[in-house]
Copies of this chain bind each other. A is one copy, B any other.
């Protein structure tokens, strides 16, 4: 059986999966991301865990290893200045992992991996021009144009979470102000709730949460139960995202925009305002031509599956 190893490097754990040709993750494992500041040793541990997993899968023919990582650079096979990982600076992870395998090794950032997963296994199989927006702790993106992943000159194309939504707005981790991510990520939603709790007098069950306690899931649940602040926070998030997506259309004229990640689980509370403000603000020449779609990749194994798609896309 031909298999790909998909690797998803998160802030705490690194998930490793054996993915078959249909895009199903048939076997999984994990190593800690966070205990190893030494990139060489981390690469060794990761490679050993991969070897073990492949050995457990009888009759597996390893076609390649695909790695999704924050600030992953496809061109150079490096992780560069990733703020949430222990090893700092520029880590040549592809070079390190390649020492342990004969199969090809590729690396890209996690949102690009999600876009590749959608293209190879998901709703974008027949779509050549699309944008994937990942709405998680941050906002990431992966862009396909002319049927190709857009990496750009230096391999970092698709940082749409860091386009400016509100000039001079909220402070972003990237050092700038008003980035889309500060409004439309899970954290952005929390920030909106706290702003609204401060500026509004309305009663809300969200007043019982500390900032650290509050999650986007809790906000979604309260919104479903009818909490007005929670509902308004989603409406505001959707409005900002919907408007910003029109700028992305003016850039690459995609056929569809896929939304993926934790926030999308809130369903129509988020998607309705996104779609309304998107279609209302779209330039005339694009009206009626661009669909907003939910990702078809199931969330649990998505990062692993996306990372594995990177290999299918390249070999």
| A159 closest partner in B (C-beta) | B250
User: A284 is contacted by which of B152, B174, B247, B250 (Cβ under 8 Å)?
Assistant: B174
Q: Is A190 among interface residues, defined by CB-CB distance under 8 A?
A: no
Between-chain CB contacts (< 8 Å), 21 pairs: A71-B285, A129-B152, A129-B153, A143-B252, A145-B146, A146-B146, A146-B148, A152-B253, A153-B255, A153-B290, A154-B255, A154-B286, A154-B289, A155-B253, A157-B252, A158-B250, A158-B251, A158-B253, A159-B250, A159-B283, A164-B246
| A150 closest partner in B (C-beta) | B145
Query: Cβ of A251 and Cβ of B143 under 8 Å apart?
Result: yes
Query: Cβ of B250 and Cβ of A286 under 8 Å apart?
Result: no
Query: Cβ of A251 and Cβ of B163 under 8 Å apart?
Result: yes
Q: How far is the CA of A308 from the CA of B52 in the complex (A)?
A: 59
- Chain B residues within an 8 Å CB radius of A175: 283-284
Q: Is A151 among interface residues, defined by CB-CB distance under 8 A?
A: yes
What is the distance, in angstroms, from A15's C-beta to the closest C-beta of chain B? Answer: 24
Apart from A145-B146, A153-B255, A154-B253, what are 5 other A-B pairs with CB-CB below 8 Å?
A81-B284, A153-B289, A153-B290, A164-B247, A176-B283
What is the distance, in angstroms, from A267's C-beta to the closest C-beta of chain B? Answer: 26
Q: How far is the CA of A125 from the CA of B162 in the complex (A)?
A: 30
**Tally of chain A residues near chain B (CB < 8 A):** 46
SS class of chain A's interface: helix, strand, loop or mixed? loop
- Chain B residues within an 8 Å CB radius of A247: 163-164, 247
Q: How far is the CA of A285 from the CA of B39 in the complex (A)?
A: 20
User: A285 is contacted by which of B156, B243, B289 (Cβ under 8 Å)?
Assistant: B156
Q: Is A47 among interface residues, defined by CB-CB distance under 8 A?
A: no
Give the contacts of A60-113 with B (CB-CB under 8 A): 71, 80-81
Query: Cβ of B153 and Cβ of A243 under 8 Å apart?
Result: no
Per-residue CB contact flags for chain A residues 246-264 toward chain B (1 = under 8 Å, else 0) read 1110111111000000000
Query: Cβ of A167 and Cβ of B243 under 8 Å apart?
Result: yes
